[in-house]
Amino acid sequence: MDINESFAKAEQILAPWTGVATHPAPDRMDVVIPAKSLVEAVTALVEAKWGYLSAITGLDHPGSTEPASEALRWQRLTEEIEAPSDEESREGTLEALYHFCEGAAILTLRVRVRYTSSALPTICNIQPAATLYEREIMELFGVTIVGTPNSERLLLSDDWPEGVYPLRKSFTSLKELDVVKGKETK
Amino acid sequence: MNEQVNAPKKFIVPIGPQHPALKEPGHFEFTVDGEIVTGASVRLGYVHRGIEKGCEQRSWIQDIYLLERICGICSHSHATAFVLGVEKLAKVTVPPRAQAIRTLFLELERIHSHFLWLGVAAHEGGFDTLFMYSWRDRETVMDILENLSGNRVNYSANVLGGVKYDVDEKQADEIRKGIDFLEERAHYYLNVVTTDETFLGRTRHIGLMSLEQAVTLDAIGPTARASGLARDVRVDAPYAAYVDFPVKLVTDDRCDLVGRFVVRINELFESYRLIREILDHLPAGDLTTKCPRRIPEGETISRVEAPRGELFYFLKSNGSDKPERVKVRTPSLCNWASVINLAVGHNLADIPMILAGIDPCFSCNDRSVTIRNPGGSQVWSWEELRRYGIEHYK
């Protein structure tokens, strides 16, 4: 199938949830969707047999004084929540990118959650192959995937401390973590 | 108390993870009812080295070498996926000769990987002669790679903006000679895996995965193509020089282990054809072009068909000389799901072959196997499970 045809079809499928759809490259389409619509959107894609889930990428956007991104603003808007306060944008967010591929076309569903409410629904009921990807993002980024069939450790060692997520930008090394902890206890 | 007595006895056979010789250990737990597997789960990460995090702390150039070491078998695929992505971000056009040489390496790598797999899979089934033969033949392609780059596995052929190594006429002739020999051998192996009765006894109708299952389980690479699923990045989204040297898609509709052997061997023929074509029509010109050290801000996705299937890279740059994020999704990760599901309903004796069938960056030989049961535990090594499998089919 032609790339443009694929994207036209995807746009149609995702129309109910699409607010911002961009084409960062000719072979890519990024769609920002609110977390609560994730399952519905994925279900629609799978039922329409649009491509396959290729990967789930996690991104950490540590809190900073910089203004909240467009995507985040939009998501807040659709969730009928007020625009992020300064405190919230300082807190930082995690982003999960669900990449679907059909032929040469790559469709990415982008979902954002806050550090303190980092829950995302599982998509394993619709797309069973997602289980390993979900376990990966849970471990490495600390996104909570609600309802995922297996939430055991997949990659990190058994003695890895709880609540330490190595792919977050704030993580530098376990050694430094110990130093910080040691200081805290003193 | 009664409940305990009446409760169905559940045996869990853990396989893995320790192995001193092979890389990439994984741990599987198979639940068995007598001989039959009723459930399976996987635990990976014993060689989790934090490469994605490591990439964020190194420069774009250093990352090529780091990423190449994710896997010793498809090292060039990793480096290629990465450099193609970075070049997209930097908007650099690589000279056609460099792209062709990258593709040449990719196909040579596929040959070496498929021969390696053929040997390992044969060994798991107890066909050690086939294992020795295919590994002997694999040396031919290893020599070619060493001749081209000086290295047997991590060739370091890629740089940002091109390749390091050129191919001259003398080397091209040596490659052609090697390929001729390997082609003859591949014909022989194709004949063996499709006609030898003892071999078919271990592979025919084993590990069946229908096309529908392959779609649901998100199978990729030769594992998917052996179930008739036409999915190959080289064809779907040609990269490097695959636009100029198109690949013919190889599929098979046997859906079982035989199919997985046939698909991989037929892919060898396609690789031979491509390599000859590339050598005959190698574009003239430069090997490299200038690529900036600081990569412009942006995100990109790069996909490469590694020997085991689609390799997925997501790159994000913040405009500095170090990446903001490098996400790697290796093909084996996709195919674990198929093993976990395919194992159910099979004899425990079939497990070694089914595992080998997806060509997981293979690491399961000779692991410790413990059979846990209420009356104590019995310890098996992977070698014993393999022997058990062979005895079972005698």
ipTM summary value: 0.84
Model confidence pLDDT, tens digit, residues B83-109:
999 999 999 999 999 999 999 999 999
Q: Does A154 reach chain B within 8 Å, measured CB to CB?
A: yes
Q: To 10 degrees, what angle do helices A131-141 and B331-342 make?
A: 130
* SS3 (DSSP) at A52: strand
Establish if A128 touches chain B: CB-CB under 8 angstroms.
yes
CA nearest neighbour of B135 among B125, B120, B145, B153: B120
Q: What is the CATH number of domain B2-46+334-392?
A: 3.30.390
| Residue ranges covered by each domain of chain B | 2-46+334-392, 51-329
End-to-end Cα separation, chain B, in angstroms: 41
Residue B333's φ and ψ, nearest 5 degrees, are: -60, -40
Least confident range from A151-165, B36-50, B168-182, B217-231: namely B36-50
Residue B239 has pLDDT above 50, yes or no: yes
Does pLDDT of A184 surpass 50?
Answer: no
Helix (H, G, I), strand (E, B) or coil at B271: helix
- Three-state secondary structure readout of A106-164: EEEEEEEEECCCCEEECCCCCCHHHHHHHHHHHHHHCCEEECCCCCCCCCCCCCCCCCC
Q: Which of A53-57, A167-171, B342-346 has the lowest mean pLDDT?
A: B342-346
Chain A residue with minimum CA distance to B298: A24
Say if A177 is an interface residue toward chain B (CB within 8 Å): no
Among chain B residues, CA nearest to A107: B301
In this structure, the dihedral spanned by the alpha carbons of residues B267, A50, A25 and B309, taken in order and rounded to 10 degrees, is -20
B332 to chain A: closest CA residue: A132
- For A55, the closest of B299, B300, B312 (CB atoms) is B312
**Taking CB atoms and an 8 Å limit, are B45 and A58 in contact across chains?**
no
Give the best residue of B24, B31, B53 to mutate against chain A (max A CB count within 10 A). B53
The span from the CA of A101 to the CA of A114, in Å, is 27
Those of residues 166-195 in B touching chain A at CB distance below 8 A are none
Confidence of residue B316 (pLDDT cuts 50, 70, 90): very high
Report the CATH number of the B51-329 domain: 1.10.645.10
CB–CB contact B301 A28 (8 Å): yes
Q: A3-185 in CATH: which number?
A: 3.30.460.80
CB of A103 less than 8 A from some CB of B: yes
Residues of A in contact with B327 (CB under 8 A): 55, 57-58
